Amino acid sequence: MSTSSAFNDEKGGSSSVGEPEYGHDPASGGIFSSDYKRHDDLKEMLDSNKDSLKLEAMKRIVAMIARGKNASDLFPAVVKNVACKNIEVKKLVYVYLVRYAEEQQDLALLSISTFQRGLKDPNQLIRASALRVLSSIRVTIIVPIMMLAIKEAASDMSPYVRKTAAHAIPKLYSLDPEQKDQLIEVIEKLLADKTTLVAGSVVMAFEEVCPERIDLIHKNYRKLCNLLIDVEEWGQVVIINMLTRYARTQFLNPNINESLLEEGGVGEKTFYGSDEDEDEDEDEKEKKAEAAALAKRKPYVMDPDHRLLLRNTKPLLQSRNAAVVMAVAQLYFHLAPKAEVGVIAKALVRLLRSHSEVQYVVLQNVATMTIKRRGMFEPYLKSFYIRSTDPTQIKVLKLEVLTNLANETNISTILREFQTYIKSMDKDFVAATIQAIGRCATNIGEVRDTCLNGLVQLLSNRDELVVAESVVVIKKLLQMQPEKHSDIIKHMAKLTDNIQVPMARASILWLIGEYCEHVPKIAPDVLRKMAKSFTNEEDIVKLQIINLAAKLYLTNSKQTKLLTQYVLNLAKYDQNYDIRDRARFIRQLIVPTEKSGALSKYAKKLFLALKPAPVLESPFKDRDHFQLGSLSHLLNAKAGGYQELPDWPEAAPDPSVRNVEVKESVPEWTKCSSREKRKEKKVEKPFYSDSEGESGPTESADSESDSASGSESASGSEESGSRSESEESEEASESEEEEEEEEEKKKKKQKEVKKTVQESESEQSSEEDRKHERKSKPRKSDTESESDEDEESESESSQSESEDSESEAEVKKKKKASEAKPPSKPVKKESKKEKKEMSLLDLDDFEPSPSPQVTPVNTFLSNSLVTDLEGLSLSDSVLAPATIAPSSALKSYELLHRITGEGLSVEYCFSRQPFSPDANMVAVQMQVTNNATTDTKNLHIEDVKLQSGMRVKEFPEIELLAAGETATAVMGIDFCDSTQAANFQLCTHARKFFVSIQPPVGELMRPVFLTENEFKKEQGQLMGMNEITEKLTLDAKCRNEHAIVQRVTTAANLSRVPCGSDKECRFAGRTVTSSSLVLVTVATKEEGAAQLTVNCEKMVIGTMLVKDILLALTQ
Amino acid sequence: MIHSLFLVNASGDIFLEKHWKSVVSRSVCDYFFEALERATEPENVPPVIPTPHHYLISVLRHRIYFVAVIQSEVPPLFVIEFLHRVVDTFQDYFGVCTEAAIKDNVVVVYELLEEMLDNGFPLATESNILKELIKPPTILRTMVNTITGSTNVGEQLPTGQLSVVPWRRTGVKYTNNEAYFDVVEEIDAIIDKSGSTITAEIQGVIDACVKLTGMPDLTLSFMNPRLLDDVSFHPCVRFKRWEAERILSFIPPDGNFRLLSYHVSSQNLVAIPVYVKHNITFREGSSQGRFDLTLGPKQTMGKAVESVLVSSQLPRGVLNANLNPSQGTYTFDPVTKLLSWDVGKINPQKLPSLKGTMSLQAGASKPDENPTINIQFKIQQMAISGLKVNRLDMYGEKYKPFKGIKYMTKAGKFQVRT
């Protein structure tokens, strides 16, 4: 096989035609060598520098893999091409790598660096595929790399990459289960993701890694319910199944009243087994009536979240995907009130039109459902009629369903159907039909005789299998009322001459023996015949012959004594151990001898005791303890990884765990559909309301109008805790009235605020603000006197440290009345008009994603907040001291000295305000003073020189600065989280000055509010290289907590995190551009010794920050 | 989830394997072969087979078994539905889904499988997305690729993955903008011996072929939407709008897709378009049977019944059939005992019939079984339920598309018992 011929072959497939000759037995010498040679060609092709050759080679290799041939010896040659530029070659190399990396771990490591590079690629497709392959390579040594990559990808901008990260989680878990804890953290983070793309994948990861951590779902429950309809179909299945389990642990049984009755009704069910049947319909009615009565006594109120789930899954019954429909069906079956379960029947019946495999699974589930809820499928009886073209396994299942559905009203139709089935050519199916008839006969008393007669007719069928099956069924039926049917028994006795099927013969013999009193003449004759053929019978028949003999001996010893002796003698020498044993045992028991013990007295009782009739029941009877639609249910055996469906709780767990609290949300990157947006907004509602979170059972995706929900959230802070939907409308109207009142209050309040609060910071926040405030009050300089603040803070709380109004505003609304603008969250899209209010009442910090629709709500909200302010008690003083951030002494730097600037001097400081036009920028406040004697005109920025990635938002041109005047301007700089200087020219009408602004590292961040737990958790994720610890001795003046807090917050724009221990001060912030978390801990020890810990993803920032804080604390 | 996939052909050979996690030895399929042997008919292999360490879930399509290996609990329908989706995709890509087609395109198949599942969990199953990732092979493209060395793997992230309409690719352009809708209804019926209807229902689908530029937003309304009792939609259909107004509003995928499938409410009486007169008897003692079958149209609203095909599984005792068709041709397979009669079009003036004798095994007693007769037919330009599309409107784009709607009625599972 020459090279040329090999690659003249067009496709992988056709080239592989020649392969089998060597591929079958690589061990044999000659063949092996050709194998080797052949691979040589491939190697050569892979080493060439032509992409087309490489591609051809890879195609052939992939074809080999597809056919299960071993291509592992090519590994070194293939892995070289992992960085190939041709994307198809690359893809095929990935395929190869994933297949063989496990076997060639060392060589696989060569490729890792390529993927690591890929993880940083600007193209999201490449990032995602690098992560995909990296995580698919099952090489234990790279577990830490995978872990890191997953963590990083979990906070990637692209939802596609985040989705890939979610996919990677179970891969890593299966490779190294010890990573579980860390993976759970990633899962938790991804669960909070708001994009539909990620939702399905992360829930899948959740199910594989930590299905028991149901607590992780609480906060995301409502979001998942609302996103569900937009998630891709496979994700829907996984989410629905998970939510079914969740709901079983969190909500009350909606059928609680009925199920109590059902327990009482178990007795009734056994009635069907025995003879006295009652009218079923009446029972049902009675039950319902009782249930209704019970319900009145003890009303069951469905948790609104439970309702939300039911409502949001219902449309998915219309999905084209059978798995989704089935998932919803099982959810309804397990969770919905009885009256509502009916809706699923139609959808399930629709699935019966699908492929036979789908039918098979659906019918299995329908069979289980029909046992519990027969009424549901009764209208669709005809859909289960059997066609001759159905595969046997489907026929049998349909039969099962039909049998379950049979009742007094439809039994005649069903039996007529069964009659046609018995004539079918499919004998297995006929046998199953006979069984089914038997079951109908036991269940429905009226038709028992009809069925029995029909079955007896079948006894004359030409097909032995049919007859045998009938005999077996008749035997069971007769056992119920033997006295009425002695003629049938006689008829059957005659059959022993013809029937050869052992099971049937055995059944007949047993019947005759059991009811020998009803056929006293025939029985001994049968025994005689049997004794004759004893030696030729099957074991099972022989045993029954012995049985028959024994019974006859006891009842009619005169006629059968000798026969019995004969049979027992034959049996004594039988080959079968059991038969010899039985014969000996029976002889001892029935034939009285002097040795025989006390037992023989009771022989009659032993043999002729009344035997309970067998209960013919569905093989699907006990399957419903498995979650429907699951593999375990189908197999009726627990499959690996199956999660039990928990029983309903006695009392519902606290529903408030599902309320979504205010917290830093994962930034949302996706554009979402209008549908989603609507929902998203509703999900966010709790953000606007009180942090206690009454968020709303009512926030469902559909129905409620926006206005209603908007006002609801506005009034939320007062109305918290209200849950029922009916209340909601009242609420809405109430709140409107309140709003008006509040409006007025607010106005008053605003005035007060303006007077009392110093406003220095707000002026920087935006041009508009400044103008606005200037009108109201003359401006002071940028730094503020502490006394002013103290006045203000005293009125609010007794804390001495409350100089800083920003952080308070973040935590407690009451302090929002202060003018300081909290830096934590920038205003993005607010209209200018809004901004004015914002500066007075900072609300936006509570609002994670300022979307345009939200703005009107803000005004409402502010109203309620103001009222809140008045009513606030001391309760917040607990938190207030802990969350203080600095602002007092804003350090100002010189940008342009008076002399170099020829009379113009510029100082700047980092105002620590969010820069409203762009959240990623650091606000730099400049104070321009004209010390010259002439006016300066047209002061503006020009010729900005920046490092790549950095951006500058210039301040608006200052048209005129009169001599001696001072003006302030705010510009924004995006430093890209680096301390690189921003260089630019400051131009006046006459001159240009080169200036540069270099930020201290502490200004590159903005404070975030974290709880102690969140802090610890985040810190746990930023260990290792991301943690920097430094020991220090505190400056003598700075040994108390207050001083430490002040110094740290002066050095860096961080906010304090509440902390239980007084030995530790914690601070948290995020870098402005990349939003990487920065955590600082100062642990104090005796004698001014202390330890400073900084955790930050960006190591450079971390090291620099350590230096700065160290300096601040030691000097 | 899905661990591995094996494709097994009719003769029981594994001709393709793909693993998404660690490699599972193909010997696991032995359990499948065992079940295959036990099953009398190919379709009687249980879809789910437990083995000591794995579970095998299989579907049979185009005489190929797609056997998925799974290791732990997963909804079986999830796997089955996915496997069917794989087959649909293959069919979409290669026109047919046969062993030969798969072998010829093994690389594309592998690339597809790679994209469709990640670690056993479905990743991209939407055909529009897949086609952006991996271009379907065409003769022209194969030639161009060999000459230019370009690839058929897309370089860009499939835009659909991120958009709100993941089923539609962006940047679609056509010179002729057209949208065709086929309303196809199927009658499922069981007719008993005497000719009365035991059960009959109508299931319908609307298949669409939409070739429109840009991002068109279509609405389709019906004259009589109440007829539709149970519907299932393509994900593109806005469910709320349907609930509220009974209007189908959607941004269509590009190309062929199934917009809707529906069930006509069972309250409406179903008009059965054909009747069958039959007389199939076996006399006791003689080795002959009589076969007499006549077809006729009824309730067709003047439309012709076309492509009629009658088939029947005759009892095992029948050795041969000697029949005489008044039109069309018939075949009888003495091995499978399958009789099929290709009738063609029914002429109401001269009803087609098939008459003759069947020879039975000599000496054997007369068969108990009665064969059932399966009928297939087509009626063009009519939806038997009376469903009518009212209008189709397009929003969001400026041009005027060409619109077309076609109706057809077919026999579904149409059986006559004798």
User: Domain end: A588, A608, A628, which one?
Assistant: A608
| B33 shares its domain with B87 | yes
Nearest chain B residue to A353 by CA distance is B203
| B142 shares its domain with B190 | no
| B388 shares its domain with B252 | yes
Distance CA B121, CA A233 (A): 12
- Maximum distance among all Cα pairs of chain B, rounded to whole angstroms: 78
Domain-located, residue B167: no
Yes or no, beta carbons of B80 and A66 under 8 Å apart? no
A810: number of Cβ within 10 Å:
24
Q: Parallel, antiparallel, or unpaired: how do β-strands A982-987 and A992-997 relate?
A: antiparallel
| A950 shares its domain with A1052 | no
- Residue B18 tokens read as 């793909």
Which runs of consecutive H residues, i.e. helices, occur in A137-220? Answer: 143-154, 159-175, 180-191, 196-209
A545: number of Cβ within 10 Å:
25
Beta bridge partner(s), residue B200: B189
CATH number of the domain at B58, please: 3.30.450.60
Distance CA A350, CA A343 (A): 12
User: Domain end: B109, B126, B148, which one?
Assistant: B148
| A46 shares its domain with A190 | yes
| A965 shares its domain with A1024 | no
Q: Parallel, antiparallel, or unpaired: how do β-strands B247-250 and B178-191 relate?
A: unpaired
How many A-B residue pairs are in contact by the CB < 8 A criterion? 253
- Strongest mean pLDDT among A203-207, A641-645, A1107-1111, B234-238: A203-207
Q: Which amino acid is at B369?
A: E
Q: Which of the residue ranges A287-291, A542-546, A597-601, A655-659 would you say has the lowest mean pLDDT?
A: A287-291
| B38 shares its domain with B122 | yes
Of the candidates B17, B114, B372, which has its C-beta nearest A95's C-beta? B114
Distance of alpha carbon A652 from the chain centroid: 21
Domain-located, residue B160: no
The residue that leads in pLDDT, A5 or B97, is: B97
pLDDT at A193 over 90: no
Q: Which residue's entry shows tokens 């350590």?
A: A1106
Domain-located, residue A550: yes
Q: Which of the residue ranges A94-103, A424-433, A659-668 would you say has the lowest mean pLDDT?
A: A659-668
Distance CA A547, CA A375 (A): 44
| A164 shares its domain with A118 | yes
Domain-located, residue A292: no
| B14 shares its domain with B131 | yes
| A927 shares its domain with A1021 | no
Average pLDDT over residues A969-990: 81
Q: What is the pLDDT of residue B141?
A: 59
Per-residue pLDDT tens over the stretch B376-397: 999 998 888 888 999 899 988 8
Distance CA B126, CA B135 (A): 14
Long-range pairs, A1076-1080, Cβ under 8 A, ≥24 = A1076/A977, A1076/A1101, A1077/A1008, A1077/A1018, A1077/A1022, A1078/A1005, A1078/A1052, A1078/A1054, A1078/A1102, A1078/A1105, A1079/A1015, A1079/A1018, A1079/A1019, A1079/A1022, A1080/A1048, A1080/A1052, A1080/A1054, A1080/A1105, A1080/A1109
Helices and strands in chain A: count of H runs, count of E runs: 49, 15
Long-range pairs, A704-712, Cβ under 8 A, ≥24 = A704/A728, A706/A678, A706/A681, A706/A853, A707/A732, A708/A732, A709/A682, A709/A685, A710/A856, A710/A857, A710/A860, A711/A735, A711/A736, A711/A739, A711/A860, A712/A685
Domain-located, residue B76: yes
Q: What is the pLDDT of residue B148?
A: 58
| B139 shares its domain with B22 | yes
- Strongest mean pLDDT among A595-604, A613-622, B227-236: B227-236
Domain-located, residue B173: no
| A936 shares its domain with A1046 | no
| A935 shares its domain with A1020 | no
Distance CA B216, CA B174 (A): 12
Q: What is the pLDDT of residue A383?
A: 87
- Strongest mean pLDDT among A151-160, A519-528, B33-42, B75-84: B75-84
Does B106 touch chain A if contact means CB atoms closer than 8 Å?
yes
pLDDT at A669 over 50: no
| B99 shares its domain with B214 | no
CA of A702 vs chain B CAs: smallest distance (Å): 9
pLDDT at A69 over 70: yes
End-to-end CA distance of chain A: 82
Q: Which of the residue ranges A683-692, B235-244, B303-312 would you say has the lowest mean pLDDT?
A: A683-692
Q: What is the pLDDT of residue B311?
A: 92
Does B413 touch chain A if contact means CB atoms closer than 8 Å?
yes
Parent domain of A896: 892-999
Residues of B in contact with A167 (CB under 8 A): 118-119, 121, 123
| A995 shares its domain with A898 | yes
Does B31 touch chain A if contact means CB atoms closer than 8 Å?
no
The DSSP H or E segment spanning B322 is: strand B318-325
Q: What is the pLDDT of residue B182?
A: 94
Identify the CA nearest to A453 among candidates A430, A428, A478: A478
pLDDT at A933 over 60: yes
Distance CA A872, CA A1091 (A): 37
pLDDT at B134 over 50: yes
| A63 shares its domain with A209 | yes
Per-residue pLDDT tens over the stretch A428-482: 888 899 989 888 888 888 888 888 888 887 877 777 778 778 888 888 888 777 6
Q: Using an 8 Å Cβ cutoff, are A1063 and A1005 in contact?
A: no
Distances (CA, A) of A584 to A101, A554, A580: 67, 16, 6
| A1045 shares its domain with A963 | no
Q: What is the pLDDT of residue B57?
A: 94
Q: What is the pLDDT of residue A45?
A: 84
Average pLDDT for chain A: 73
Residues of A in contact with B77 (CB under 8 A): 322-323, 326, 358, 361-362, 629
| B23 shares its domain with B105 | yes
Residues of A in contact with B43 (CB under 8 A): 356, 391
User: Cβ contacts of residue B370 below 8 Å, gap of 6+?
Assistant: A423, B193, B280, B417, B418
pLDDT at B180 over 90: yes
Identify the CA nearest to A353 among candidates A396, A387, A330: A387
Average pLDDT over residues A814-819: 42
Domain-located, residue B161: no
Nearest chain B residue to A133 by CA distance is B118
Q: How many domains does chain A have?
A: 4
Nearest chain A residue to B166 by CA distance is A232
Yes or no, beta carbons of B106 and A12 under 8 Å apart? yes
User: Cβ contacts of residue A650 below 8 Å, gap of 6+?
Assistant: none
Q: What is the pLDDT of residue A876?
A: 38
Domain-located, residue A265: no
Parent domain of B121: 2-148
| A942 shares its domain with A1053 | no
The residue that leads in pLDDT, A382 or A807, is: A382
pLDDT at A390 over 80: yes
Q: CA neighbours within 13 Å on the CB side: how many for A427?
A: 13
Does B217 touch chain A if contact means CB atoms closer than 8 Å?
no
Domain-located, residue B198: yes
Q: Using an 8 Å Cβ cutoff, are A475 and A507 in contact?
A: yes
Nearest chain B residue to A347 by CA distance is B230
Nearest chain B residue to A7 by CA distance is B146
Distance CA A161, CA B271 (A): 54
Quickly state the pLDDT bin for A928 (edges 50, 70, 90): confident
Percent of chain A residues topping a pLDDT of 90: 9
Q: Burial of A652 by CB count in 10 Å (0-12 exposed, 13-18 middle, 19+ buried)?
A: middle
Three state DSSP letters for A809-821? HHHCHHHHHCCCC
For B255, the 3-state DSSP assignment is: strand
Written as one string, the DSSP assignment of A919-952 is TTSEEEEEEEEE-SSS-EEEEEEEEEE--TT-EE
Q: Which amino acid is at A690?
A: D
pLDDT at A659 over 90: no
CATH number of the domain at B246, please: 2.60.40.1170
Written as one string, the DSSP assignment of A286-315 is HHHHHHHHHHHHS-----HHHHHHHHHHGG
Q: What is the pLDDT of residue A796?
A: 44
Q: How many domains does chain B have?
A: 3
| B286 shares its domain with B248 | no
| B201 shares its domain with B185 | yes
Average pLDDT over residues B179-188: 92
The residue that leads in pLDDT, B136 or B310, is: B310
User: Cβ contacts of residue A94 below 8 Å, gap of 6+?
Assistant: A82, A129, A133, B114
Average pLDDT over residues A743-766: 47
Yes or no, beta carbons of B230 and A350 under 8 Å apart? yes
Counting every residue, how long is chain A?
1115
User: Domain end: A589, A608, A627, which one?
Assistant: A608
Domain-located, residue A785: no
Residues of A in contact with B249 (CB under 8 A): none
B289: number of Cβ within 10 Å:
21
Domain-located, residue A929: yes
Q: CA neighbours within 13 Å on the CB side: how many for A326?
A: 33
User: Cβ contacts of residue A1035 below 8 Å, gap of 6+?
Assistant: A1088, A1113, A1114, A1115
Q: Parallel, antiparallel, or unpaired: how do β-strands A1077-1084 and A1064-1071 relate?
A: antiparallel
Percent of chain B residues topping a pLDDT of 90: 30
Per-residue pLDDT tens over the stretch A848-885: 444 444 334 343 444 444 444 343 333 333 333 333 33
Yes or no, beta carbons of A234 and B72 under 8 Å apart? no
Average pLDDT over residues A374-378: 87
Domain-located, residue A400: no
Quickly state the pLDDT bin for A313 (edges 50, 70, 90): very high
Q: Using an 8 Å Cβ cutoff, are A881 and A802 in contact?
A: yes
Average pLDDT for chain B: 86
pLDDT at A41 over 90: no
ipTM: 0.92
Does B140 touch chain A if contact means CB atoms closer than 8 Å?
no
Written as one string, the DSSP assignment of A250-286 is HS--TTHHHHHHHHHTHHHHHHHHSS----HHHHHHH
Identify the CA nearest to A136 among candidates B123, B203, B213, B271: B123
Yes or no, beta carbons of A66 and B157 under 8 Å apart? no
Nearest chain A residue to B418 by CA distance is A420
Written as one string, the DSSP assignment of A803-848 is T-HHHHHHH-GGGGGSSPPPSSS---S--HHHHHHHHHS--GGG-S
Of the candidates B75, B104, B161, which has its C-beta nearest A631's C-beta? B75
CATH number of the domain at A1036, please: 3.30.310.10
pLDDT at A639 over 50: yes
CATH number of the domain at A228, please: 1.25.10.10
User: Domain end: A560, A578, A608, which one?
Assistant: A608
| A904 shares its domain with A980 | yes
Quickly state the pLDDT bin for A259 (edges 50, 70, 90): low
| B309 shares its domain with B216 | no
Q: What is the pLDDT of residue A811?
A: 43
| B58 shares its domain with B199 | no
Distances (CA, A) of A123 to A94, A149, B155, B157, B293: 18, 16, 10, 9, 68
Domain-located, residue B71: yes
Does B394 touch chain A if contact means CB atoms closer than 8 Å?
no
pLDDT at A403 over 60: yes
CATH number of the domain at A990, please: 2.60.40.1230
Q: Parallel, antiparallel, or unpaired: how do β-strands B372-380 and B402-417 relate?
A: antiparallel
